[in-house]
Chain A
């Protein structure tokens, strides 16, 4: 690497005017260290910079910097809870509709079950639908947030 008197010593002379030497190849030291190199250095990796450059994602690959969004576990819990509540409420309504006779007055457990049918079924259906609506709203808010970026 030849340095002429006109070159700035702060920078690589191969990229300065008046340089008279071999063609500049790939830079030995990147001007901005990539996260891959940093993380390797932080973990004590000994692969060297060439290995780090090989492992760094290339801009030519379209999906190099795209990672699939992780599923929101709480949204899934909301969805499954809503579906379970709607299913349980529908089952209670179904058992009420298909019952062959009215609950016996002398049987306290059948009266209790009839009471649960009449009070819990609407509650389960209402809360289940609210849960499903909440899940949809949560997804819509996330989608609108992604669009506005």
Chain B
């Protein structure tokens, strides 16, 4: 039982860290892609810059899809720990 709780805790932390890293990466990529478009209003971006901005936006959107599941997984794993402990407490009290 104990190792399962430890796995739950580690999973919660890992998913939380993944969520934070993905959020920071997504924000960074989205910002950089936006900067290319902002500059394009003053001067025409080169095809390489345009391709780079498109790639940044694509990657940002892809990471964006993973953010909510990562956050839900982390939070649910964190909530599962008191749920399991609470059930164990009930069983011990009933004995």
Q: Using a CB–CB distance below 8 Å, which chain A residues touch chain B? A: 69-70, 72-75, 77-78, 81-82, 85, 105-106, 108, 111-112, 115-116, 119-120, 122-124, 126-128, 130-131, 134-135, 138, 141-142, 145, 149
Q: In the bound complex, how far is the Cα of B89 from the Cα of A64, in angstroms? A: 25
The residue in chain B whose Cβ has the minimal distance to the Cβ of A138 is: B86
- Scan residues 2-40 of chain B and give those whose CB is less than 8 A from a CB of chain A: 23-24, 26-28, 30-31, 34, 38
A115 touches B26 (CB 8 A): yes
Q: In the bound complex, how far is the Cα of B93 from the Cα of A70, in angstroms? A: 9
Q: Is the interface of B mostly helix, strand, loop or mixed?
A: helix
The residue in chain A whose Cβ has the minimal distance to the Cβ of B34 is: A105
Q: Is the interface of A mostly helix, strand, loop or mixed?
A: helix
Partner of B87, one of A69, A131, A141: A141
B27 touches A111 (CB 8 A): yes
Given contacts A72-B89, A73-B89, A112-B27, contact A127 B82 (CB under 8 A): no
**Is B51 close to A, CB under 8 A?**
no
Please, how many residues of chain B have a CB less than 8 angstroms from a CB on the other chain? 28
9 A/B residue pairs, CB under 8 Å, sorted by A: A75-B89, A78-B79, A81-B82, A82-B79, A85-B79, A111-B30, A112-B27, A116-B23, A122-B68
A72 touches B90 (CB 8 A): yes
Shortest distance between the CB of A78 and any CB in chain B (Å): 4
A124 touches B71 (CB 8 A): yes
Taking CB atoms, residues of chain B closer than 8 Å to A130 are 76, 79
Shortest distance between the CB of A108 and any CB in chain B (Å): 5
A119 touches B68 (CB 8 A): yes
The residue in chain B whose Cβ has the minimal distance to the Cβ of A149 is: B94
